[in-house]
Amino acid sequence: MTSPERAQLPRLAWHALLAALTVIAAGAAGAGNDDFGGELRLRREQLRGNAQGPLAAGESLSPGVAPPTLSASLAEAELRGVWRAPALDLVRASIFGNALLAAERSDSGAAGSQRTTQARLNEGFVAGDFGAWQASVGKKVVAWDVGYGFRPNDVVQQERRRRLLTTTQEGRPLVEVERFHADASATLVWVNPQNANDTDDASRQGLESALATRTYVRAGSADWHAFARWGEHTRASLGAAVAWVATDELEWHASARIMQRHDAWQFDSSAGNAPVAANPWLQTTLGGAAQALLGASWTGQQQISLLVECWYDGTAPADSDWEAWLSRNRALAAFGTQPGLPSALVSAAGGNLAWQATPFATNNLRRNNVFARLAWQEQRWVLSLDALVTPSDRGRVVTAAVQWQGERLRVNAAWRTYGGPADALFSQLPQSQVGLLAVTLPF
């Protein structure tokens, strides 16, 4: 048996186990209390491209190398189901499923309008209820930590925060065991078991096989959490979080994590400021880092609430890295606009500028962040205004949103604008503004 064949065995075994469990549980299913439903959703995402930034500069030099992402209309159906098996002496088993069917049609661009369809299993797992012990096997969303804008200790799901529309995320394959007491609980998760023994490069950005634990204790008006994680290539991390209700109106929360290693974008310094033949930005496993968050929320009697958070993310590129990045952008732009430059080299400069957008695909662009959200809720309406600021470059993201909730129908509208000084990272993202309108009908 060759090495690639051996590497596939754990994944195949995992899928076979999942299929077997599903068949067994489905065969035993049929009791009452089954629950089916879902929601239909129409949404429009309106994007306004940014004339600044490396993508725009690259597209300008080499049209087609980084065409702007087009606005799009989407129709989605999210289907949910819970099948509960008849209760046995020792265990009650259930099967949970959540699937997303989506069709997207983008606006007409250079290549015309594009239509895509997608079918995705968000969650599909078998749960066993053994009284104080609980277990789950399958694809599931397991979300931890206490913050709103950032969650350092969300080490299983690793959710991207501050989305314009809250929808069910795609879970991760995992095995989960939990023990519950009255005021405490302990959870052990093996996430991505199918990727065990994968290479580092094949298991980045949430795909790493890892063991994670959470211990929870309720102590009066405070919830305490302790986290530990052992990743196959990122090794150990430890974290803690607390949420404390200080008064009838005020709540504080904090979270911190230290890690032995972390995955991040790293620039191949041998590329310097000149165009190169391959993307010089690579996902790499780097050394130790720390993350921390401190926040508070206040809610008044007039149904107004204010949330303020500040956080530090040591896995984000350092300011010096971004300075080098800016320097390379300027050098590439200057190179590509030299009079008389052969078109191949102009294209190379354009392509390299487009690659400079690679490190944008990260949780936090800057290490230091400040976030504030003001919301007002009245009957069927919720209005909110929030701002994320990166003090080191005075970049900002401002979002205004409104939600109306009817008896069934829900309408969400939001507008987000990115800005700041010309050199601010938020001013150089591919979009300068993003708008959303969504109509959701649950059933």
Partner 1 sequence: MTNRTSLTLYAATLAFALLGAGGVKDARAASDVASLLAAADRYRSGAGNLQVETEVKVLNRDGSTDKERRYTVFAQVQRKSLVLMRSPAEQGQKVLMLGDDFWLMMPGSQRALRITASQKLLGDASTGDIATLSWADDYTGTLVGEEKCGVQACLHLSLQAASKGVSYQRIELWIGKARSEPIAADLYVHSDKLAKQARFVFDNADAPTTVTEMVLQDRLSNHKETRVRYVSRQAKAVPEAWLNPMFLARNPALE
Residues lying near partner 1 in the complex (CB under 8 A) are found at: 33, 35, 37, 82, 84, 87, 92, 94, 96, 127, 129, 131-132, 134, 141-146, 157, 166-169, 178, 180-185, 187, 216, 218, 220-221, 223, 243-245, 247-251, 253, 297, 299-301, 303, 305, 377, 379, 405-408, 410, 442-443
User: Which run of H or E residues covers position 331?
Assistant: helix 319-336
Question: H or E segment at 129?
Answer: strand 115-130
Least distance to partner 1 from the beta carbon of 248, Å?
A: 4
If the CB atoms of residues 142 and 357 are measured against partner 1, the closer one turns out to be 142
67 contacts 59 by C-beta, under 8 angstroms: yes
Give min distance, CB of 220 to partner 1, in A: 8
Q: Which is nearer to partner 1, 52 or 405 (CB)?
A: 405
Strands (E), 155-195: 172-180, 184-191
Nearer to partner 1, 8 or 133 (CB): 133
| Shortest spacing between CB 314 and partner 1, in angstroms | 23
Q: Which residues of 352-387 are buried (b: 16+ CB within 10 A; e: fewer)?
A: bbbbbbbbeeebbbbbebebbbebeeeeeebebebe
Contacts of 17 (CB under 8 A, 6+ apart): 137
Distance CA 198, CA 189 (A): 18
What is the closest distance, in whole angstroms, from the C-beta atom of residue 164 to partner 1 in the complex?
14
Question: Of 100, 112, 42, 119, whose CA–CA distance to 70 is shortest?
Answer: 112
Distance in Å, CB of 255 to partner 1, minimum? 13
- Interior CA angle at 3 toward 2 and 4, to 5°? 95
Counts for the chain of helices (H) and strands (E), in that order: 4, 20
Smaller CB separation from partner 1, 165 or 290: 165
Q: Cβ distance 316 to 366 under 8 Å?
A: yes
Provide, rounded to whole angstroms, the least separation between the CB of residue 187 and partner 1.
Answer: 8
Choose between 260 and 305: whose C-beta lies nearer to partner 1.
305
Smallest distance from partner 1 to CB 254, Å:
12
Q: Name the residue nearer to partner 1 (CB basis): 252 or 360.
A: 252
Q: Which is nearer to partner 1, 253 or 373 (CB)?
A: 253
Integer Cα distance of 122 and 94 in angstroms: 17
Q: CA–CA distance from 62 to each of 339, 350, 412 (Å)?
A: 15, 5, 38
CB of 408 to partner 1, least distance (A): 5
Closer of 69 and 405 to partner 1 (Cβ): 405
Residue 51, number of CB atoms within 10 A of its CB: 10
